[in-house]
Every structure is written in C-alpha cells, then in structure tokens.
Amino acid sequence: MSAHTHSRPHPATAGGVDMRLPWWALALPALAFVALLALILNPSDAHAASGDPAITHLFERAHQLLAR
C-alpha cells in the first residue's frame, strides 16, 4: 500500500495582505490635522458666528411650540 500524501498549503507570508490606499485616504486626514493645528496655533482666526435674529426667532418659536 502506498502512503497517501497531502500537499500542504503555503504558509502565510510575513508581509501580510497587499493593500494599497488611495491618495486621498492619507491626504484628507493630514489636511484636517494641519487645519486644526493652525486653528490651535492662531485662535484669532477662529471667530464665533454671530447670532442671526431670524434664526434666533425661529428657535424661540420652536421652543414655544414644544413647551405647550
């Protein structure tokens, strides 16, 4: 009787899965980081939005309707 041998699958490579990221997957987080860093370093450029009377009136009206 001859021994039945099985071929073994190749072991996993040490390099892992070969995946490539698109250029924007690295560029967008880097751009966001730089923008937030610029705001932290120069906070005078970050101005609070002034309240628009029409929007304030709309929120007051919505609050009155929900309070009933």
Q: Tens of pLDDT along the chain (68 residues)?
A: 566 666 666 555 556 676 888 999 999 999 999 998 888 887 675 565 565 677 777 778 888 888 87
**What single DSSP character describes residue 9?**
P
pTM score of the predicted model: 0.38
Cβ atoms of residues 39 and 45 within 8 Å? yes
Rg, the chain, Cα only: 30
What per-residue confidence (pLDDT) applies to 29?
94
How many angstroms from the chain centroid is the CA of residue 38?
A: 18
- Give the distance between the most distant pair of CA atoms in the chain: 94
How many angstroms from the chain centroid is the CA of residue 10?
A: 37
Q: Which residues contact 38 (CB under 8 A, 6 or more apart)?
A: 45
